[in-house]
Amino acid sequence: MLNIPKLKNTDSNNFFLMAGPCAIEGEEIAFRIAEKIVKITDKLNIPYIFKGSYRKANRSRLDSFTGIGDEKALKILEKIGKEFGIPTVTDIHESQEAAMAAAYVDVLQIPAFLCRQTDLLMAAAKTGKVVNVKKGQFLSAGSMKYAVDKITENGNPNVLLTDRGNTFGYQDLIVDFRGIPEMRAFNVPVIMDCTHSLQQPNQASGVTGGKPALIETIAKAAIAVGADGLFIETHPDLSNAKSDAANMLKLDLLEGLLEKLVRVRQSIL
C-alpha cells in the first residue's frame, strides 16, 4: 500500500514517519534536522520521509514568516533527498504549484484547509507523485473518501490521508481516533499529525498556540488504533523557530519518543 520512492526500512513492520521543521528556514538548519532524524530512524528501522514547507501560505498575520523563496527552499528539499537518500514532502497551495514542487520532492501534501479543492487535488494527482491529503478540521473522516476518489480517478493510486484533529469551539482542536480505522477502510495508508492536532488556533495575538506536552499521548493512541504513519514537526531551537514553534517537538526529545512508539507498535502486531 505504501509506494514511496527511496523509502527505507519498509520491511521492519514499523510505522513510517514524516518529520522535519514546519518551514524551510535555511539550508544549514534543514540539513541539521534531517541528519539527526535519519540517524534515529535508521537506528530504530523506521521508514522516514523528510518534511518541510517551502512556503507557508496560511498565516493569521501579515507579518508572519512565510518562507525564504520558493525555488531556494525547494532546492534545499531536493538536496536533502539526494544527500541522505530519503523521500521528501512539501505542501502545495494552488494548482499551478503542483508541477513546480513535483520537480523537487517525492510527496505532495494538500493542507487541511484545502482538502476539498478539486482542481488542486487533480493537479497533484496528475504529477504522478504520492499525494498526502490532510483531513480538514471541519470534516468527518468518512468525507475524505471523496478526496481519495478525486486523486485515484485521475489515474494516481498513491494516496495518503492524514488526520490532524477536528475544530472544537473557536480556539481548540480535538482528535477523534475513530477516524483512523474509518479512513484506513478506504485502502490507503493513514497518518496521524501529532503536532498540528495540538494547535490552539485563532489566538488573539494572531500567533497559533499549542499543547506540545501531549504529543506523546496523541502518538501512542494513534499507533494503538492502527495508524500507518506519524507526522511530527520538530526543531532543535523552538525559541528561534520561525513557524509553529508553539506546537513542535523539541528535536532532542524525538529519539526517546520514537523508542516508546516502536514498543507500542510491536505490542499490537
List, for residues 243-252, the tens digit of each pLDDT value.
877 889 999 9
Listed in sequence order, the residues at least 6 apart from 3 whose beta carbon sits closer than 8 Å to its beta carbon are 130, 157, 158
Distance CA 89, CA 174 (A): 25
Q: Are 66 and 56 in contact (CB under 8 A)?
A: yes
Q: What is the residue type of 210?
A: G
Cα distance between residue 204 and residue 206, in whole Å: 5
Mean pLDDT of the chain: 93
The predicted structure's pLDDT at residue 59: 57
pLDDT of residue 202: 62
Alpha-carbon Rg for the chain in angstroms: 17
Report which of 269, 268, 263 is spatially closest to residue 45, judged by C-alpha positions: 263
Domain range annotation of the chain: 16-268
Question: 93 falls in which pLDDT band (50, 70, 90)?
Answer: very high
Cα 191 to Cα 80, 99, 132, 203: the distances in Å are 22, 24, 9, 27
Q: What is the pairing mode between strands 88-91 and 249-250?
A: unpaired
Decide if pLDDT at 205 tops 70: no
* CA–CA dist 251, 235 (Å, integer): 5
Neighbouring CB atoms inside 10 A of 261's CB total 25
Query: How far apart, in whole angstroms, are the C-alpha atoms of residue 67 and residue 72?
Result: 9
Sign of CA dihedral 159, 66, 198, 250: positive
> What CATH class does 16-268 carry?
alpha beta
**What pLDDT does 129 receive?**
97
Confidence of residue 209 (pLDDT cuts 50, 70, 90): low
Average pLDDT rounded to a whole number, residues 222-233: 98
pLDDT at 244: 74
